[in-house]
A and B are shown apart, each in its own frame.
Chain A
Amino acid sequence: MSLLTQLTVNGLIAGSIYALVASGFSLIYGTNRFMHFAHGISVVIAGYILYSLFTVWKIPIVLSIFITLVLSGIFGLGIYRLIYLPLQNKKASNVILLMASIAILILFQNLIQAFYGADIKTIGYIKVGKGLSFLGAVITKLQIAIIIVSLLLLISLYFFMKKAKLGRDMRAVSDNKELASIVGINQRRVSDYSFILGSALAGVAGVLIALEQNLEPAMGTTLIIKGFTGAVIGGISYVPASVLGSYILGVAENYGIWFLPSGYKDAIAFVLLFIFLLFRPSGLFGLKRRAA
């Protein structure tokens, strides 16, 4: 087993998940300028919806996944319309929105537990077995799928934001809100779509995690912390940057605990977060801008 390849592969797998979470978070932050921490629960809800659809109601997997993604997007939109938008209309500050976000995270985590029970759920679709050997590293088919799906999605997202009108509108709002509305871009519509799209991306992460690992109501908090860290490392308001940052985080964590005791894995993420915020708050690839 080639050590370097193995660690890199491990990093890419972790990074893919982080990137899916970070991209949605970043998209929402860039367009709306506040931290949607409840984004973590979008991932969890998606996983549980998939569980209900596929494992409980036995709907075929592909259809289940499709429905899950649609519902994830709707969920995100719902939170925006029902909570954030009314607050913004009252001129609530970002701190208030952040607190509301956290309250939503707690609310839904416990709703999921009340509804599904606290015990661990599994999707039961993937077989467990010895991994394949690829360039000297061990990796399973699903893990290869995770990396490929994430990369494809994120590349598509990049082109979407570069070429599609909606994507360009989102970037415009992210760069300069006032100018964008002067030019006639409908802010509300752009915000709506940022939540739908961002939460659907979270949904993809939820589906993949459900298939690869297992489901637990409390798993959203760690995910959003890691995704958020990845976004900061890369550049929080610029989606492709946050994606790259997430991959860097994944790789750094896995390389890191090669040299450090394994208990420091989370510490590595936190220290990176802190260092980046100190020395390069706009991230490795973010555009230099004064924070709001």
Chain B
Amino acid sequence: MKKQNKKMFWAVILIALVVIFVVFNYVRSEEEERIKIGVTATLTGFGAPWGEDIQKGIDLAVKEVNDEGGIYGKQLEIIYEDISELDLKMAVSAAQKFVSIDKVDLIFTQWAEDNAVVQPIAEENNILIMNIASGSRDVPRGSPYVFMIRPTDAEVTERLVDYIISLNVDNPVMIVEQTPYFESLGALTDEIWNQKTGQNIRKYSASPTERDYRTILTKVKQEGYDVVFVYVLEDNAGLVLKNIEEFGIEALKIGFTGMGDPVVLNVAKESAEGMVYTDFDSSEQFFIEKFKNEYGREPLVTSDLAYDAIKVLAKVMREYGTDTESVKKGLELIKDFPGASGPVTFNELGERTGKEVIIKVIRDGVGVKI
């Protein structure tokens, strides 16, 4: 008897789950009065700070757009899906849900990896993708369905390398985190450096969960250095800089975009002095103020991009229409849209252009343009 009861219990649970599915399937497809955007982002795990900032940037923009009356009277609705630690099967599940259950009008992807698995599904269903945070060359160019709002790494890195070479320093070294984004960036930087100088950059790999860089730096100190590229996620980059300072390594410290964020500076403090990094003619002040007012802290490097993605789309949809073809046309025609991340324009490959790359250096704890 007892065993039967238990079986019943579980059968009920399973049936309940199935019912939830079916019900929501119906409920969802009746809400046509909204414009829906599906977003895949790393909302938990190690990427959480950046996923969270993208979510906050988007929410801020959506509130503004909806307060203005939405788009043709329709409210914007965002559906977030977590892809914790870049779990690609979660990304695929999210994309499938977006296209068949939520029936979204657009999809945002965060990095090159989720984009890679989401793209085929989006294309099959004639849905556009706006990639938010990856300037990586691993996001395919020229696909009519993909737009990237972050300026490409290639452009940024070239500027950076040119600047360093102009300083006549040699013996470059890079500390690269073993994650797709930094491996890619490191390889790109090395290629560009090689093109221009015929030499390669000595690479030291670090695990993404590493927090103690002392022995890597011991090696660096022993093997010689003049320039140290710190290609480590911002959460640990501050620790790298700190360790560099402790060791008295007098090198030109190079960072990438995002290294000027409080995340890094709060940990690194004085050790960040003199660090050179790339930035864009950055987050317009208006956005930083808005973000601070809403959330009580300063934004990280990707939230302005996320905010702009929404704002640009809202403008395009209002002017040209909300279906895929119209949005595509509109995005191609957008020129110098005044975004939180600077003027937004897309080129024929769907890449973001026109955002001026600037080189900054940390002086007295603040990033100053060179």
CA distance A139 to B76 in the complex (A): 54
Q: Which of B53, B178, B215, B267 contacts A257 (CB 8 A)?
A: B215
Q: Which of B43, B214, B234 has the most CB of A within 10 A?
A: B214
CB of A265 closer than 8 Å to a CB of B: yes
One of B138-146, B191-199, B202-210, B286-294 at the interface:
B202-210
CB of A169 closer than 8 Å to a CB of B: no
CA distance A27 to B204 in the complex (A): 37
CA distance A124 to B52 in the complex (A): 23
CA distance A263 to B271 in the complex (A): 24
Q: Beyond A254-B215, A257-B216, is A129–B44 a contact (Cβ under 8 Å)?
A: no
Q: Which of B49, B204, B221 has the most CB of A within 10 A?
A: B49
CB of A262 closer than 8 Å to a CB of B: yes
Task: Check A263 against B246 for contact (C-beta < 8 Å).
Answer: no
When distances are taken between beta carbons in the complex, the residues of chain A under 8 Å from B221 are 1
When distances are taken between beta carbons in the complex, the residues of chain B under 8 Å from A3 are 218, 222
When distances are taken between beta carbons in the complex, the residues of chain A under 8 Å from B222 are 3
CA distance A122 to B210 in the complex (A): 17
CB of A131 closer than 8 Å to a CB of B: yes
CA distance A124 to B269 in the complex (A): 10
Q: Which of B48, B204, B215, B270 contacts A118 (CB 8 A)?
A: B48
A277 to chain B, nearest CB (A): 21
Chain B residue nearest to A261 (CB atoms) is B205
CB of B225 closer than 8 Å to a CB of A: no
Size of interface on A: residues with Cβ below 8 Å to B? 41
CA distance A240 to B269 in the complex (A): 38
Q: Beyond A14-B212, A113-B48, A213-B211, is A262–B204 a contact (Cβ under 8 Å)?
A: yes
CA distance A10 to B222 in the complex (A): 15
B88 to chain A, nearest CB (A): 18
Task: Check A265 against B210 for contact (C-beta < 8 Å).
Answer: yes
Chain B residue nearest to A121 (CB atoms) is B266
CB of A7 closer than 8 Å to a CB of B: yes
When distances are taken between beta carbons in the complex, the residues of chain A under 8 Å from B81 are none
Task: Check B215 against A263 for contact (C-beta < 8 Å).
Answer: no
Task: Check B214 against A13 for contact (C-beta < 8 Å).
Answer: yes
One of A78-86, A216-224, A231-239 at the interface:
A216-224
Proximity string of chain B (33-73) to chain A, C-beta cutoff 8 Å, 1 when within and 0 when not: 00000000001111011011100000000000000000000
CB of B268 closer than 8 Å to a CB of A: yes
Task: Check A258 against B48 for contact (C-beta < 8 Å).
Answer: no
Task: Check B266 against A130 for contact (C-beta < 8 Å).
Answer: no
One of B107-115, B237-245, B307-315 at the interface:
B237-245
Task: Check B219 against A128 for contact (C-beta < 8 Å).
Answer: no
Q: Which of B214, B248, B263, B269 contacts A10 (CB 8 A)?
A: B214
Interface residues on B, range: 35 or more
CB of A127 closer than 8 Å to a CB of B: yes
Task: Check B248 against A128 for contact (C-beta < 8 Å).
Answer: no
CB of B247 closer than 8 Å to a CB of A: yes
Task: Check B248 against A138 for contact (C-beta < 8 Å).
Answer: yes
Q: Which of B46, B51, B205, B211 contacts A262 (CB 8 A)?
A: B205
Q: Which of B235, B266, B271 has the most CB of A within 10 A?
A: B235
When distances are taken between beta carbons in the complex, the residues of chain A under 8 Å from B48 are 113, 118, 217-218
CB of B132 closer than 8 Å to a CB of A: no
When distances are taken between beta carbons in the complex, the residues of chain A under 8 Å from B235 are 120, 214, 216
Q: Beyond A7-B218, A10-B215, is A138–B207 a contact (Cβ under 8 Å)?
A: no
When distances are taken between beta carbons in the complex, the residues of chain A under 8 Å from B267 are 120, 122, 213-214
Residues of B224-257 at the interface with A, using a CB-CB cut-off of 8 Å, are 234-235, 238-239, 242, 245-248
B154 to chain A, nearest CB (A): 25
B276 to chain A, nearest CB (A): 19
Task: Check B246 against A130 for contact (C-beta < 8 Å).
Answer: yes
CB of B159 closer than 8 Å to a CB of A: no
B336 to chain A, nearest CB (A): 32
Q: Beyond A113-B48, A124-B266, A262-B204, is A214–B238 a contact (Cβ under 8 Å)?
A: yes
When distances are taken between beta carbons in the complex, the residues of chain A under 8 Å from B45 are 218
Task: Check B212 against A118 for contact (C-beta < 8 Å).
Answer: no
A112 to chain B, nearest CB (A): 11
CB of B300 closer than 8 Å to a CB of A: yes
Q: Beyond A10-B214, A113-B44, is A122–B245 a contact (Cβ under 8 Å)?
A: no
When distances are taken between beta carbons in the complex, the residues of chain A under 8 Å from B219 are 257-258, 262
Task: Check B300 against A119 for contact (C-beta < 8 Å).
Answer: yes
When distances are taken between beta carbons in the complex, the residues of chain A under 8 Å from B239 are 213-214
Q: Which of B44, B205, B207, B245 contacts A110 (CB 8 A)?
A: B44
A25 to chain B, nearest CB (A): 18
When distances are taken between beta carbons in the complex, the residues of chain B under 8 Å from A124 are 266
Task: Check B49 against A119 for contact (C-beta < 8 Å).
Answer: yes
B248 to chain A, nearest CB (A): 5
B58 to chain A, nearest CB (A): 15
4 additional A-B residue pairs with CB within 8 Å, beyond A122-B266, A262-B204 = A13-B212, A128-B242, A217-B48, A253-B215
- Measured CB to CB, the residues of B under 8 A from A are 43-46, 48-49, 51-53, 178, 204-207, 209-212, 214-216, 218-219, 221-222, 234-235, 238-239, 242, 245-248, 263, 266-271, 297, 300
Provide 19 A-B residue pairs closer than 8 Å at the C-beta atoms, listed in order of the A residue.
A118-B44, A120-B238, A120-B266, A128-B242, A128-B268, A128-B269, A128-B271, A131-B246, A131-B247, A213-B211, A213-B212, A213-B239, A214-B239, A214-B267, A216-B49, A253-B215, A262-B206, A262-B219, A263-B207
- Measured CB to CB, the residues of A under 8 A from B are 1, 3, 6-7, 10, 13-14, 110, 113, 117-120, 122, 124, 127-131, 138-140, 209, 213-214, 216-219, 221-222, 253-254, 257-258, 261-263, 265-266
